[in-house]
Amino acid sequence: MVRRVAVIGAGVGGLASVKCCLDEGLEPTCFERSEDIGGVWRYTDSMDDRRVSVYHSVVTNTSKEMSCFSDFPFPEDFPSYLPHSLLLEYFRMYARHFDLLRHIHFKTTVLSVRKHPDFATSGQWEVVTEADGTHESHTFDAVMVCTGHYQEPYLPLESFPGIDTRFKGQYLHSQEYRDVEAFRGKRVLVVGIGNTGGDLSVELSRVAAKVFLSARSNTWVISRVSSRGFPFDMVSTTRFNQFLDWLLPSALTRRIRFRKFNSWFHHANYGLASTKSSKFKMIVNEELPFCLLSGTVVLKPSVKEFTERSAVFKDGTTEENIDVVLFATGYISPFPFLEESVRSLFDDNRSLYKAVFPPQLEKPTLAIIGLIQLTGSIMVGSEMQARWVTGIFAGWNKLPPASRMMAEVLKRKPPVKRNPSERENLKMSFISYMDEVAACAGVKPSVLRLLLTDPRLALAIFFGPCTPYQYRLVGRRAWNGARGAILTQWQRVLKPLRTRVVDEDPDCSSGWRWMWLLALPVALTAGFLLSKHPQLGWRLWAG
């Protein structure tokens, strides 16, 4: 019987894990090496401890309604997309509300996590920590690793000949970036076109003499602002859209998606992406197209090599007088505190059962929380993982046999190992993954059942955004505020915008009322088909 649980890290995954442990009557002890909660979302100017944090100007890519803890909505006056300061404030509210801070040991580093000598029978772990120069050994019944993706910068210098031998300028990883001042008036090359590379290119273009952005993959750029001015993820991440993805041929859904992306601007004209490519990724950036159009950012192909002051690209072109190279090449998650026999069981989340459990362990008492890439909020996915894991630790839920877990892992593992900068291509469908883990945890809502008992709620769940509250309607730890939160989610989106109210023609929204009236038969059919095919999910966004 698991009682004492070590939680490593007090970021969003760690906070959710501590709360879920308390919900299940477990005894969590959280170890956080810094002096505060928040993980990467706690911005700091200092880089003395090499702690990874967001840059000063960062804003969330997922909206507040799609990113909140499932039983704790954001304040209604918070904007839909949040700067790091407001997100950290929300984490503090959550920690205070559920009294989590007393379970967290700050300025405490986990040095090692090793199997107890009798692990095969007890499943226990020996955890060694260090605080104020003092080492301490603990024994725990289970461990939840909540250190996430952003542990160490991935800087593949060997892939860029000359960067550390001939190049006379400065080079650094985006982990060292805080603001624009150090780049004022300089010619900057940003390597990597993920969300970070796109953001930094735009920001630097305001003060740098010139910014070049090197991209090697097809990249579709989307805006946070979607139809009728609503958040993109709330409009696109719906069970109805998921149903269409399953129902229609993948070639057709891809064509529809590309057409929608190109309706904003034609990506091929900008050198970003082609509809002919089967491999692509998406980034969120409203300003990058204008920067490319105005010439303040120049898109370039992959770098071939560096000379003393210039970068040579694989298309044969050269850009002279480069002052700074900024690598936005991602991060790795080495888990240095885990003993090698355990660490060798998984090289990434695709070696883990449901991206959480190492299936080869004799006892399921080690869980990796938040090591996922989703088309939606990782924060929400981390909380769902923690709910499932703590149910298993508490003993009311169980994992399937190891052979079955291994078979599923092998089936879903990609044939070729990708480097961290290509993880975007391996993103899992948010709804599919959430539903799959929720089904394991016994908290997945049934649209078909709700259609018979609460049609209004069922339609909101099927046609509306798949917000986290959906996973608090049924099962253990159901929240009696979930229904109300779902039915008022659009009001919370609009509330911070109502700083100046104008009159609106009531006929403008009449079409939506007709849509709801016609939606019932569609939802009934979809609910029936989905109930007959529970394994719809786990499809990648790329199809």
pTM for this structure?
0.91
β partners of residue 393: none
pLDDT computed for residue 541 by the predictor? 34
Structure-block tokens of residue 157: 């210098």
Question: What is the CA angle 94-96-99, rounded to 5?
Answer: 105
Distances (CA, A) of 289 to 24, 153, 202, 220, 293: 48, 27, 9, 11, 6
pLDDT computed for residue 150 by the predictor? 86
Structure-block tokens of residue 521: 């038969």
Averaged over 184-213, what is the pLDDT?
97
Q: What is the pLDDT of residues 244-278, one digit of tens each?
A: 999 999 999 999 999 999 999 999 999 999 998 87
3-state secondary structure 381-434: HHHHHHHHHHHHHHCCCCCCCHHHHHHHHHHHCCCCCCCHHHHHHHCECHHHHH
Q: What is the pLDDT of residues 102-127, one digit of tens each?
A: 999 999 999 999 999 999 999 999 99
Is there a contact between 329 and 155 (Cβ–Cβ < 8 Å)? yes
Q: Specify the amino acid at residue 70.
A: S
Q: What is the pLDDT of residues 483-521, one digit of tens each?
A: 999 999 999 999 999 999 888 776 555 555 555 555 556
Burial category of 461 from C-beta neighbours within 10 Å (exposed 0-12, middle 13-18, buried 19 and up): buried
Q: What is the pLDDT of residues 368-414, one digit of tens each?
A: 999 999 999 999 999 999 999 999 999 999 999 999 999 999 988 76
The rounded distance, in Å, linking the Cα atoms of 496 and 189 is 38
Q: Specify the amino acid at residue 488.
A: T
The DSSP secondary structure of 65-116, one letter per residue, reads HHHSBTTBPPPTTS-SS-BHHHHHHHHHHHHHHTT-GGGEETT-EEEEEEE-
Averaged over 70-87, what is the pLDDT?
98
* Residue 77 CB-half CA count within 13 A: 1
The rounded distance, in Å, linking the Cα atoms of 491 and 473 is 20
pLDDT computed for residue 278 by the predictor? 74
3-state helix, strand and coil shares in percent for the chain, rounded to the nearest 5: 40, 20, 40
Of 414, 370, 497, 355, the residue nearest 9 (C-alpha)? 370
Beta carbons within 10 angstroms of residue 377's beta carbon: 25
Distances (CA, A) of 389 to 2, 18, 355, 360: 11, 12, 12, 16
Q: Judge whether residue 529 has pLDDT over 70.
A: no
Averaged over 418-443, what is the pLDDT?
81
Domains, the chain, in order of start with CATH, read 4-151+333-415+424-428 (3.50.50.60), 153-330 (3.50.50.60)
Mean of all residue pLDDT scores within the chain: 91
Q: What is the pLDDT of residues 348-359, one digit of tens each?
A: 778 999 999 999
Distances (CA, A) of 112 to 9, 49, 335: 14, 19, 10
The rounded distance, in Å, linking the Cα atoms of 15 and 12 is 5
Structure-block tokens of residue 128: 């060694």
pLDDT computed for residue 508 by the predictor? 53
